[in-house]
Amino acid sequence: DTKQESLSFQTEVKQLLHLMIHSLYSNKEIFLRELVSNASDACDKLRFQALKDNALMADDADLRIRISVDKENNTISIEDNGVGMSRAEVVQNLGTIARSGTAEFLQNLSGDERKDSQLIGQFGVGFYSSFIVAKAVDVYTRKAGLDASEGVHWHSAGEGEFTIGNVELPERGTRIVMHLKADELEFVDNWRLRSLVKKYSDHISVPVQMLQENHPADADADAELEGDEPKVEAAAVAPSWDNVNSAKALWTRPRSDIKDEEYQELYHHISHDFGDARSWSHNKVEGKLDYTSLLYIPKKAPFDMWNRERVRGLKLFVNRVFIMDDVEQFLPLYLRFVKGIVDSNDLPLNVSREILQNDATIETIKASLGKRVLDMLSKLAKKKPEEYQEFWDEFGQVLKEGPAEDMANKETIAKLLRFSSSQSGDEAQTVALSDYVARMAEGQAKIYYVCADNHQTAKNSPHLEVFRKKGIEVLLLTDRIDEWLMGYLQDFDGTEFADVARGGLDLGDIESPEEKESQVKANDEHKDLLARIKGLFEAEVQDVRMTHRLVESPACIVVGDNDMGAQMRRIMESAGQ
Ligand code: ADP
Ligand code: MG
């Protein structure tokens, strides 16, 4: 190596490495999936860059990934002829974690292996997972377009630091050599690796190749017993590689041919999520527009779902060629938890993010993808209510942004909302508006709700007294976004919403004419008292009235019909308005 230097991993990497090795141990075989996934990304990136600059392919245009073992040295190599990395890129990509929110994520780890492995899974394990089974890793890489002399050799034992130096590499791409730990030698086995590739990476559209089974380089047990030198024999015969995976873009295959596990593995690859998807929707659209979409709803929310800078969006392909990641334009913001791919036959291969921003085709695709997701959720809610509830617990707060953003689908979204209510008993948001409407009392014309900071306050609100007395259900809204949401939901299926803490509460036919009359009378009778109280609080209140709202409490404060609610006011205040 020339210009050799020793560098320290970023602190976060050290922490992650340590935690990963311990908490992902029971899933250790996923290292292969991660490395093949990276190799496949590297091939996709090169294919894309070569659209503009074909010279990058040089004389090596058949992109592939090759896996081999060396039984003598107990190593596994994963090699691709993809885009490769420059020295600076290696330092950046294999020495740091660039994601914002990483420090918070690490703080959330508890030391409980099971919980932590879940969290790490959501975070994405990636390249560093190689250290679960390797005591040391070598990376040899050369960026496409650079000189053979600009090859880079990275080496680390996964402990605090790595070394990096320049080496001559005649071939473009990346080779990763894993030196297995003494008790992980089970992986130095072609059969084992083949079955792992089949299991985890069959959907990869780049060929994943291994040496043919009966090839002498694949030193079998007999040869070893007889003391043969596998290496010598291998040199005598040109190695012959065969494809282990089906190497066809999964989404181009007919749905009926694709197994659930295959869908899940593609999900792992594109989402970098270690856990499974809850459901997916795979569709081919032909006609005026021609595209295929495959959309996934994750099971778990990512740890940084509320981080504004978080990358989101779908992977875009044009005619099977990978174009770019994280295309935000295909889905509304309130469906930002959805992962997936769009493969378009209409967009030009040189499409850019700028073009995507104001393109009518994209708008049309966006509208129909949004519908598909809502459709998928509606079906889930209907057919698997328990699973839908789990979805809601993870992503409900995001979905609540929907009615404001997506007027066209407001009604569909309203059906998907779940709330806590005075009837449901606890904080869990389990009541659908259709459940509420079905339970409405005789004479009840509105859907009543109360907004508060937390469940306890909502439940004990004096505004609920009359409803409790009359046995009427009230939705208890305690998420920050709720009051804002209600501003966009005027009615559900024709039944209006009413905030019980607002203005002159009209209980409609729930109140008998006598009750109504006695309220009017009371206000009249106590005119003077009301005027005096109003005088005392002149600066604070607009009006003081007698009410039938209360049963036990002597008084309560209500908000004017058109004024901002208390929750909303606090949000505006905290936003500095
Ligand atoms: P992720 O794949 O989620 O970005 P990884 O930890 O798996 O995270 O990889 C980190 C980065 O290292 C990748 O984003 C990529 O830039 C680079 N990288 C990893 N493997 C390869 C490879 N085989 N060829 C080129 N770049 C790679
Ligand atoms: Mg990766």
- The tens digit of pLDDT for each residue in 110-140 reads 778 777 877 787 777 789 999 999 999 999 9
Amino acid at 153: H
Per-residue model confidence (pLDDT) at position 376: 98
Confidence of residue 214 (pLDDT cuts 50, 70, 90): low
How many Cα atoms are found within 13 Å in the side-chain-facing hemisphere of 213? 5
- β-strand 2-8 against 495-499: which pairing, if any? unpaired
Q: Return the best residue to mutate from 37, 40, 41 for the ligand 1 pocket (most ligand atoms within 8 A of CB).
A: 41
Nearest-CA residue for atom 18 of ligand 1: 38
* 174 marked as binding residue: yes
- Is the pLDDT at 220 greater than 60? The verdict is no
Residues with CB under 6 A from ligand 1: 34, 38-39, 42, 80, 82-85, 93-94, 124, 126-127, 174, 272
* DSSP letter assigned to residue 503: S
Confidence of residue 558 (pLDDT cuts 50, 70, 90): confident
Edge-to-edge strand list for the sheet holding 491-492: 431-432, 418-421, 475-477, 446-451, 495-499, 491-492
Per-residue model confidence (pLDDT) at position 216: 52
Per-residue model confidence (pLDDT) at position 103: 81
Q: How far is the CA of 97 from the centre of ligand 2 (A)?
A: 12
E-assigned strand segments in 365-445: 418-421, 431-432
Percent with pLDDT over 70 in the chain: 94
- Residue 459: enclosing H or E segment and its boundaries? helix 455-459
Q: How far is the CA of 181 from the centre of ligand 2 (A)?
A: 22
d(CA 380, CA 298): 13
* 101 marked as binding residue: yes
Per-residue model confidence (pLDDT) at position 36: 96
Min mean pLDDT across 215-219, 516-520, 545-549 is at: 215-219
Per-residue model confidence (pLDDT) at position 515: 80
Tens digits of residue pLDDT in 56-87: 999 999 999 999 999 999 999 999 999 999 99
Nearest-CA residue for atom 14 of ligand 1: 93
Query: What secondary structure does DSSP assign to 293-349, as a single string?
Result: EEEEEESS--TTTT-TT----EEEEETTEEEEEEEGGGS-GGGTT-EEEEEESSS-T
Question: Residue 422: CB partners within 8 Å, gap ≥ 6?
Answer: 459, 464, 467, 468, 473, 474, 475, 476
Amino acid at 540: E
Cα 70 to chain center, whole Å?
Answer: 38
Cα 154 to chain center, whole Å?
Answer: 31
* 126 marked as binding residue: yes
**Cβ neighbours around 69 below 10 Å, total:** 23
Confidence of residue 454 (pLDDT cuts 50, 70, 90): very high
Longest dimension (CA), the chain: 112
Q: How far is the CA of 38 from the centre of ligand 2 (A)?
A: 5
- Is the pLDDT at 225 greater than 70? The verdict is no
* 123 marked as binding residue: yes
Question: Residue 261: CB partners within 8 Å, gap ≥ 6?
Answer: 199
Nearest-CA residue for atom 17 of ligand 1: 93
Q: Return the best residue to mutate from 13, 34, 36, 38 for the ligand 1 pocket (most ligand atoms within 8 A of CB).
A: 38
- β-strand 208-211 against 65-70: which pairing, if any? parallel
Min mean pLDDT across 117-131, 210-224, 305-319 is at: 210-224
Specify the ligand 1 atom closest to the Cα of 126.
7
Confidence of residue 434 (pLDDT cuts 50, 70, 90): very high
Q: Which residue has the tokens 């999900």?
A: 267
Find the helix packing angle between 30-52 and 260-271, rounded to 10°.
Answer: 70
Burial per residue of 191-216, b for 16 or more beta-carbon CB atoms within 10 angstroms, e otherwise? eebbebbeebbbbbbbbbbbbeeebb
Q: How far is the CA of 66 from the centre of ligand 1 (A)?
A: 17
d(CA 74, CA 72): 6
Counting ligands in written order, which one lies closest to the CA of residue 152? 1
- Is the pLDDT at 89 greater than 70? The verdict is yes
Q: How far is the CA of 35 from the centre of ligand 1 (A)?
A: 8
Identify the sign of the CA torsion 177, 182, 183, 186: positive
Query: What secondary structure does DSSP assign to 248-291, as a single string?
Result: S-GGGS-GGG--HHHHHHHHHHHH--SS-EEEEEEEEE-SSS-E
Tens digits of residue pLDDT in 368-396: 999 999 999 999 999 999 999 999 999 99
Confidence of residue 510 (pLDDT cuts 50, 70, 90): confident
Closest to 51 measured CA to CA, from 322, 328, 342, 249: 322
Specify the ligand 1 atom closest to the Cα of 39.
23
Nearest-CA residue for atom 15 of ligand 1: 93
- Is the pLDDT at 223 greater than 60? The verdict is no
Average per-residue pLDDT in the chain?
89
* 85 marked as binding residue: yes
Q: How far is the CA of 463 from the centre of ligand 1 (A)?
A: 56
Structure tokens at 400: 């609540």
Counting ligands in written order, which one lies closest to the CA of residue 144? 1
Q: How far is the CA of 124 from the centre of ligand 1 (A)?
A: 11
Specify the ligand 1 atom closest to the Cα of 94.
12
